[in-house]
Amino acid sequence: MTTASAHLPTHVAIIMDGNGRWAKQRKLPRIEGHRRGVETVRTITEAARENGVRYLTLYAFSVENWKRPPAEVSALMGLLEYFLKRETKNMVRDRVRLLTIGRTEELPEVVRTQLDAAKKATAHFTDYTLVLALNYGARTEMIDAARAYAKAVASGQASLDDDSWGSLSRYLYTADIPDPDLIIRTSGESRVSNFLLLQGAYAEFLFTPVLWPDFDKAHFAAALADYGKRERRFGLTSEQLTPSKPA
């Protein structure tokens, strides 16, 4: 199912939430919810491409997720490795580029190896991009960006006199990625959980009660259709966006 909206978002970002509750409702171990969530990643990556969404960012593992039980963290890393091994060939087939944001250098070596291989295999594609937010947190990103900006100023590569947003945003993880137009959170929670706080300053938000493992192509198309009905003003008035015709 594809959307007919004339106002298609270039970049959709999703906070994938509800795996644990999905499993609990079915009296299954939490890891089963995460396994089902991996299948949804494949489904929604396909849906984004089929609907012409050029950038899809998925919040896969936050800096706070390390605080979860060690067994669950280990299982999540194993699922990430499995996903990358299985899906790299599909991303190559579908000409989808893989990028990451976050402190990926802190991930287990086996995961980093698979990430590097997948990114290298898809680096030359430009039509569609899947961005995995891994060991990501917006506040951590701001710390890293401020540190990099300070080093650039100290070395003469940047100037404090240039106080534009564009100057600082070059040091964010997302420097080469357009800001999200639409941010979706599944599972009924209505918070952003330290995700793309700066980049999402003017994003449209959609909070759906659907748990991530149940989020399918029809739900994604409905989200795009809802987005297409909205008026994005970026601080302007409706009249400025659609000025009246001269008499």
**Active-site position among 17, 51, 135, 181:** 17
**Active-site position among 65, 179, 216, 226:** 65
- Clarify whether 17 is annotated catalytic: yes
- Clarify whether 65 is annotated catalytic: yes
CB atoms within 10 A of CB 12: 28
Give the angle subtended at the CA of 12 by the CAs of 48 and 181, to the nearest 5°. 135
CA atoms in the 13 A half-sphere facing the CB of 81 = 13
Give the angle subtended at the CA of 204 by the CAs of 15 and 229, to the nearest 5°. 125
Q: Give the E-state strand segments of the chain in sequence order.
A: 11-15, 55-62, 96-101, 128-136, 182-185, 204-207
Q: What is the DSSP letter of 52?
A: T
So which residues are the catalytic ones?
17, 65
